[in-house]
Chains A and B, each alone.
Chain A
Amino acid sequence: GAGVSQSPSNKVTEKGKDVELRCDPISGHTALYWYRQSLGQGLEFLIYFQGNSAPDKSGLPSDRFSAERTGGSVSTLTIQRTQQEDSAVYLCASSPLVTSGEETQYFGPGTRLLVL
């Protein structure tokens, strides 16, 4: 179907509040990734889901960050007690299947998070 969608597109919050970011991957894609991109920087890997396997959380910067993926489809990234340094664009990507690493990742438009 359509490409990867993310919501909200923009989020402004106050320091200390919790936020939830949502990602709808391309239908049928088994792999889902979250990345973070600070202004003028490259993308930083956060977490990876593949099918029913345990997620790879090795990129999460602190225990304030968590993510889940329900029913192998939609994913939610939660940031608790937000800090100003959490301000960034959060990008979600999906790919059909992870085998040899050749699978192209398809990115959503991102959620621009600003923590005041």
Chain B
Amino acid sequence: GQSLEQPSEVTAVEGAIVQINCTYQTSGFYGLSWYQQHDGGAPTFLSYNGLDGLEETGRFSSFLSRSDSYGYLLLQELQMKDSASYFCAVDDYKLSFGAGTTVTVRA
């Protein structure tokens, strides 16, 4: 089975940088995905790491270390619209999600 851990909530001010850590234990692994979900909305794909290292997509970056079973999502230049839940998910053709991190951005 799969087990993922991430912080339950993070609060930061506009313009700040937030790092959401994710540790996992898994029996099958292709990569680590990150999804964003606004209140009442559908999860939307943010980033995927299949190999160790950093992936950068605009203000968002994601990192993976397979040897440490660890990854993180980095949100830079935070904006109010970034207030949402962020889920890490182990990808072994189906997604096994963590419980999510609620990010609250304050003015």
Contact = CB atoms under 8 A, between A and B. Distances in A.
Contact of A107 (B4, B31, B42): B42
A39 B33 CA distance: 22
Interface residues of B, number: 23
Interface in B64-107: 87, 89, 91-100
A109 interface: yes
Nearest to B4: A42
A116 B51 CA distance: 46
A62 to B, nearest CB: 18
B30 A42 contact: no
Contacts of B31: 101-102
Interface in A44-96: 44-45, 48, 50, 56, 59, 91
Interface size, A (range):
20 to 34
Given A42-B100, A91-B43, A100-B50, A105 B93 contact: no
Nearest to A108: B42
Contact of A43 (B30, B91, B95): B95
A104 interface: yes
Contacts of B42: 4, 91, 107-110
Interface of B: 4, 30-31, 33, 41-45, 48, 50, 87, 89, 91-100
